[in-house]
């Protein structure tokens, strides 16, 4: 499964990229606004920090003509950019136009299987199923992800299923188990994926036993 970091903060991207396991970055208007920096400069810096990574950057208009102008502008900034488009009627028309032109798209704010079908049929590169926001209203957001993965596999769509609005490591485990292609999450969630108490206990014991034995890897001088 591909691992993306969900942020507009270049320092967080830098930290996530240093592990050498990052496949991409997702931004959204809220995350970019939070960064306090310019949209284009932030996205280009993120492309530089994640060579070869898929970098999603979102249009903000809601009428087809302006969305198309924004999408072509954003796509022109860097070949790693994936244009993020909300699941609204003009958005689906836009995704069809962009995919016909070979421009990669990430359809965002997807919450249902029927929405995912529309995105897949328009030729979306990524379908961003939000789970946390569904959990927030006492429903299980991972159900739509599992259904979307089945749909993509059953009908042979090229779209990849991206699990978004990830709130905790269990969402990542569930995303893996339902066969999602990508999960995007805040840096702090990625940091939690490293953690296991038995790893800490085990390493502490290894090092204590090693030290007690007075051993060294390097020849003693
Ligand atoms: O970037 C899309 C999505 O992951 C944001 O989700 O619910 O954490 O704001 P949320």
Cα(6) to centroid(ligand 1), Å? 7
What is the rounded average pLDDT for all residues in the chain? 98
84 noted as active-site residue: yes
Residue 58 Cβ < 6 Å to ligand 1:
no
- Quick: pLDDT tens for 109-141: 999 999 999 999 999 999 999 999 999 999 999
**Which position among 15, 45, 84, 96 bears the catalytic label?**
84
pLDDT tops 90 at residue 220:
no
pLDDT tops 90 at residue 181:
yes
Question: What is d(CA 44, CA 29) in angstroms, rounded to the nearest whole number?
Answer: 15
Question: What is d(CA 4, CA 84) in angstroms, rounded to the nearest whole number?
Answer: 14
The pTM assigned to this predicted structure is 0.96
Q: What are phi and psi of 190, to 5 degrees?
A: -60, -45
Residue 132 Cβ < 6 Å to ligand 1:
yes
Helix axes 39-49, 10-18, angle to 10 degrees: 10
Residue 129 Cβ < 6 Å to ligand 1:
no
Question: What is d(CA 31, CA 40) in angstroms, rounded to the nearest whole number?
Answer: 13
Res 111: pLDDT: 98
Indicate the pLDDT class of residue 221, thresholds 50, 70 and 90: confident
Query: Counting atoms of ligand 1 from 1, which one is nearest the CA of 186?
Result: 8
Q: Are 25 and 2 in contact (CB under 8 A)?
A: no
Residue 165 Cβ < 6 Å to ligand 1:
yes
């Amino acid at each position: 499964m591909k691992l993306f970091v969900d942020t507009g903060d270049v320092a967080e991207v830098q930290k996530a990229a240093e592990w050498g396991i990052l496949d991409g970055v997702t931004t959204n208007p809220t995350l970019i606004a939070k960064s306090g920096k310019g949209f284009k400069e932030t996205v280009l810096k993120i492309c530089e920090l994640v060579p070869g990574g898929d970098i999603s950057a979102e249009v903000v208009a809601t009428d087809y003509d302006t969305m198309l102008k924004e999408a072509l502008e954003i796509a022109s900034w860097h070949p790693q950019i994936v244009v993020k488009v909300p699941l609204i009627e003009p958005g689906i028309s836009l995704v069809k136009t962009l995919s016909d032109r070979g421009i990669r798209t990430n359809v965002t704010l997807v919450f249902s299987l029927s929405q995912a079908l529309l995105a897949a049929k328009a030729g979306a590169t990524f379908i961003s199923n939000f789970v946390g926001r569904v959990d927030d209203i006492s429903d299980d957001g991972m159900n739509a992800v599992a259904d979307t993965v089945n749909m993509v596999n059953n009908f042979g769509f090229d779209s990849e299923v991206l699990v978004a609005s990830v709130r905790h490591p269990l969402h990542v485990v569930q995303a893996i188990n339902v066969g999602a292609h990508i999960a995007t999450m805040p840096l702090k969630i990625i940091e939690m994926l490293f953690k296991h108490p038995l790893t800490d206990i085990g390493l502490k014991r290894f090092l204590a036993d090693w030290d007690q034995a007075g051993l060294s890897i390097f020849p003693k001088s």
